[in-house]
């Protein structure tokens, strides 16, 4: 039905569309991760500062926990977007 040239053009167009959608999805993920990371970091820095008045130990615990929460949040965000992308391109 189609000659080889037309099939190559269709495959190239599909590849370009998938690449564009992947780029847009990853850029939105990056923006969301940056926003969530900065929001959480500023809130937890204020809490850490208030606890540092009482002692270094409590401030360290809060800073450590907030860093762990931020790491898990950003990793979960990346995995969620990866799952969505895989199901989108099936």
Helix, strand, coil percentages (3-state) for the chain, rounded to 5, are 90, 0, 10
Check pLDDT > 90 for residue 7.
Answer: no
Check pLDDT > 80 for residue 2.
Answer: no
Question: At a CB cut-off of 8 Å and minimum separation 6, what does 49 contact?
Answer: 59
More confident residue, 4 or 51: 51
- Model confidence over 29-39: pLDDT tens digits? 999 988 988 99
- What is the per-residue pLDDT for 1? 61
Asked whether 80 and 35 are in contact (CB, 8 A), the reply is: no
Q: What is the mean pLDDT of the chain?
A: 90
Check pLDDT > 70 for residue 62.
Answer: yes
């Amino acid at each position: 039905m189609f000659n080889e040239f037309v099939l190559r053009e269709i495959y190239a167009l599909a590849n370009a569309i998938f690449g564009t959608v992947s780029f847009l999805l990853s850029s939105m993920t990056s923006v969301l991760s940056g926003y969530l990371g900065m929001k959480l970091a500023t809130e937890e820095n204020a809490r850490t500062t208030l606890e540092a008045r009482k002692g270094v130990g409590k401030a360290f615990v809060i800073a450590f926990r907030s860093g762990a929460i931020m790491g898990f949040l950003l990793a979960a965000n990346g995995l969620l977007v990866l799952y969505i992308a895989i199901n989108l391109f099936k």
